């Protein structure tokens, strides 16, 4: 049976500037944030199967007060050595999902992959697109290392990893977004990245302005929910501030 560990980095507001500003509901008010601000959780996931320790997306790449990558600290706090992660599955490379792909050495300024013993799975076209569109949503410096490392597998279209991790090119939230279904024979765990980011978005039919293809993304959410209901998927919600996982 798969073990699922949400690795929350906290709640943030984000607006058109694409800056992620920490939000504490005990003392902060949405009224004080810019108009059009969205409240989101930043929440990578660890899925532990009989064969792998899987990391799904890599958070913002922020460091804690001790200078440790927050993602690494979250793993350690859950009893996992970051060097034990075997696969890193990337839905897409927007900076709130790919910030922890690599990290900069505080002393030398050189970057290295945050999970050097893992195999990274990244869409080839998404990687090219991220580097070409360095700026607000993508930070090329975070992902430039990927094509230079031999522990990175560049995916194309739809496929299967080790016979049980299925990926599909979805292309709704950004042109080369991909989603993952982990099926270990006992559980089916679905990670839809930013095409199934919060339960409220799954339940309402609306077109979001921040999606590359809002209509397609709306339709994908409905398809995923119907497939998930029929097949008993556990959904992982990267941006849900209240509910990390659910079944429909």
pLDDT category, 152, cuts 50, 70, 90? Answer: very high
Which residues face 182 on adjacent strands?
165, 189
E-strand stretches of the chain: 3-6, 11-14, 20-22, 38-41, 45-48, 53-56, 87-89, 102-104, 111-113, 119-123, 152-155, 159-161, 165-169, 178-183, 188-191, 234-236, 245-246
Q: Which of 177, 125, 116 is nearest to 150 (CA)?
A: 116
Can you give the pLDDT at residue 69?
97
Give the percent of the chain with pLDDT over 90: 87
| 203 confidence band (pLDDT: 50, 70, 90) | confident
Name 128's Cβ contacts closer than 8 Å, sequence gap at least 6.
none
Distances in whole angstroms, Cα of residue 54 to Cα of each of 18, 25, 82, 209: 28, 30, 11, 31
* Both tokens assigned to 164: 């049980």
* pLDDT reported for residue 84: 98
Tokens read off for 128: 């090219």
CA distance 13 to 30: 8
Where does the chain have alpha helices with state H?
70-77, 95-98, 124-132, 140-143, 199-203, 214-231
Cβ neighbours of residue 230 closer than 8 Å, sequence gap 6 or more: none
For residues 193, 218, 164 and 85, what is the CA-based torsion angle, rounded to 10 degrees?
A: 0
Residues 3, 24: Cα–Cα separation, whole Å: 28
Residue 116 has pLDDT above 90, yes or no: yes
Best CA proximity match to 90, nearest among 122, 128, 46, 118 = 122
Average pLDDT over residues 118-133: 98
Condensed to tens digits (0 to 9), the pLDDT of residues 215-245 reads: 999 999 999 999 999 999 999 999 999 999 9
pLDDT value for 16: 83
Q: How far apart are CA 5 and CA 11, in angstroms?
A: 17
Residue 149, token pair as written in the block? 């490392």
Q: What is the pLDDT of residue 43?
A: 98
What confidence tens digit (pLDDT) does each residue in 20-68 have?
Answer: 999 998 899 888 887 888 999 999 999 999 999 999 999 999 999 999 9
For the cut 90, the answer to whether the pLDDT of residue 106 exceeds it is: no
Looking up tokens 């790449």, which residue turns up?
61
Rounded CA-CA distance 159/161 in Å is 7
Lowest mean pLDDT among 34-48, 87-101, 153-167, 221-235: 34-48
Which pLDDT band holds residue 17 (cuts at 50, 70, 90)? confident
């Amino acid at each position: 049976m798969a073990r699922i560990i949400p690795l929350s980095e906290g709640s943030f507001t984000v607006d058109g500037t694409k800056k992620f500003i920490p939000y504490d509901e005990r003392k902060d008010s949405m009224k004080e944030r810019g108009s059009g601000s969205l409240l989101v959780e930043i929440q990578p996931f660890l899925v532990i199967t009989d064969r792998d320790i899987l990391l799904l997306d890599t958070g913002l790449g922020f460091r804690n007060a001790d200078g440790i990558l927050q993602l690494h600290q979250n793993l350690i706090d859950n009893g996992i050595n970051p060097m034990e992660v075997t696969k890193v599955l990337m839905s897409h490379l927007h900076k709130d999902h790919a910030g922890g792909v690599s990290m900069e050495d505080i002393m030398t300024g050189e970057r290295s992959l945050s999970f050097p013993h893992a195999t990274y799975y990244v869409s080839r076209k998404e990687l090219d697109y991220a580097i070409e569109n360095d700026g607000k949503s993508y930070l090329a410096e975070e992902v430039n290392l990927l094509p230079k490392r031999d522990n990175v597998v560049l995916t194309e279209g739809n496929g299967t990893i080790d016979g049980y991790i299925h990926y599909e090119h979805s292309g709704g939230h950004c042109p080369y977004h991909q989603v993952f279904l982990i099926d270990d024979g006992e559980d089916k765990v679905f990670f839809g990245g930013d095409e199934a980011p919060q339960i409220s978005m799954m339940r309402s039919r609306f077109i979001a302005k921040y999606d590359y293809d809002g209509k397609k993304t709306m339709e994908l959410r409905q398809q995923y929910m119907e497939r998930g209901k029929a097949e008993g998927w556990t959904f992982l919600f990267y941006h849900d501030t209240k509910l990390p996982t659910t079944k429909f």
